[in-house]
Amino acid sequence: MGARADRWRAALILTVTRRCNLRCAYCPTVKDGVPDLSADDARRAIDLFRARYGGGDIKLFGGEPLLRPDIVEAVLTHVSDVSDVSVYLSTNGTRFEPAILDLLRAHPRVTLTLSIDGAARDHDGLRRPLPGEAPSFAAIERWLPELLGLPRFVVTQTIAPSTAARAAANFRSLRAMGIGRFNLLPGYYLPWSATQLAALEQSFSAIAADFEAAWNAGERLYLRNLFVSAPTPFFNTGFVVDADRTIHPSNLVLAEAVGPRTVVGTLDDPPSAEALAEAAARVPALLAEVYTPDVLASTAAVDRVLTRLCDRLYPAYFRARTARGTAAARVSGAA
């Protein structure tokens, strides 16, 4: 396979809130000055999305969506009896509490994606809390045993230019914590030096070797990057409803540099599918307008490093999958 797997599904991206209790070094999201989404509007957006696309992926983003657990709960309850959507909840892991764990257990089809940057030193160094907030690594460690028991739990390992040289060490420290389902996210739309890009390449090569060794040993180790692709690196394309009820073709709207320039409608006056598709087609030109050439070149380079990692891993992944299928067939044949 020559490129990352193409698994296109219609996607509704709900910005539950722009607010966040962290100020991560690489975060482009404008956090203040926008009201939170209401539960009614979240339900309305879902109904509109399902009527228009017949279902697909619903992604709950922020800011930090678990600052509004009531809205997350309203969404999960609203779709609990429908089979045409898959729900993904992204979180920084600082707002877990027993009621939220109970909610997730009650909705086992939800995929929980938790962002961790690696060992405490790098994680807390990059994911800076607002004054009065505790460092987030300790909060994640506190809840990890219960999170590992959820049926669909994935860790997004974010890799900043400054931590690229330690990305493999950070990956191993996350594995040592019992994590076996990963999504690797190198920092997009940031300037990367040639040294940092070389460090990322080297780290990804070491991570690839770890995956190959694990799969050869029959271990289940999951890498979400093998199964998704996006037309715009980092930003999600789809039917994007911002916290202020405006509709966009991409969550680029979150980035300070872009602001409201991607608005194509509101929940009261939604765009046609054609208008949304036309607006999505304009996104690359908009990116070229708001980011400097070196940042765009870095982004393309980082994406190529990630693509090379995936291309290297596909043969080992398919071999391991075939071996597992053969072993399962042997067991059922013997039964």
Q: Among 223, 202, 199, 203, which Cα is nearest to 211's? A: 223
Question: Which two structure tokens, joined as six digits, stand for 167?
Answer: 């990305």
58 φ/ψ angles, rounded to the nearest 5 degrees = -115, 120
104-133 residues near ligand SF4, rule: CB under 6 A: 127
Closest CA to 10 of 276, 285, 262, 258: 276
Nearest to ligand SF4 of 66, 310 (CB atom): 66
Closer Cβ to ligand SF4, 22 or 39, answer by number? 22
DSSP lists the bridge partners of residue 111 as 88
Phi-psi group of 25: left, alpha or beta (phi > 0 → left; psi -120 to 50 → alpha; rest → beta): alpha
Contact predicate 238/13, CB 8 Å: yes
- Min CB(234)–ligand SF4 separation in Å: 11
Q: How far apart are CA 300 and CA 159, in angstroms?
A: 15
* Of positions 55, 63, 161, 187, contacts ligand SF4 by CB under 6 A: 63
20 three-class SS: coil
Nearer of residues 74 and 114 to ligand SF4, judged by Cβ: 114
Single residue of 15, 17, 29, 298 touching ligand SF4 by CB under 6 A: 29
Q: Does 62 bind ligand SF4 (CB under 6 A)?
A: yes
Residue 100 beta carbon to ligand SF4: minimum distance, rounded to whole angstroms: 16
Q: Which lies closer to ligand SF4 via its Cβ, residue 18 or residue 78? A: 18
Taking CB under 6 A as the binding criterion, the range among 19-27, 98-106, 187-195, 311-319 that sits at the site for ligand SF4 is: 19-27
Question: Counting contacts by CB under 6 A, is residue 17 touching ligand SF4?
Answer: no
CB of 129 to ligand SF4, least distance (A): 10
The residue (of 136 and 298) whose beta carbon lies closer to ligand SF4 is: 136
Whose CA is closest to 299, among 310, 288, 309, 286? 288
Residue 37 interacts with ligand SF4 (CB under 6 A)? no
Output 20 or 243, the one with its CB closest to ligand SF4: 20
**Strand ranges (DSSP E) for the chain?**
11-15, 22-24, 56-61, 85-91, 111-116, 127-129, 153-159, 181-186, 222-223, 237-241, 246-250, 265-266
* Ranges within 133-172 binding ligand SF4 (CB under 6 A): none
* CA-closest candidate to residue 249, choices 8, 13, 39: 13
When asked if residue 249 is in the footprint of ligand SF4 (CB under 6 A), the reply is: no
Minimum CB separation from ligand SF4 for residue 24, in Å? 3
Contacts of ligand SF4 in 79-98 (CB under 6 A)? 92
CA dihedral angle for residue 226, residue 230, residue 233, residue 239, rounded to 10 degrees: -140
Q: Which is nearer to ligand SF4, 243 or 320 (CB)?
A: 243
* Interface contacts to ligand SF4, rule CB under 6 A: 20, 22-24, 27, 29, 62-64, 92, 127
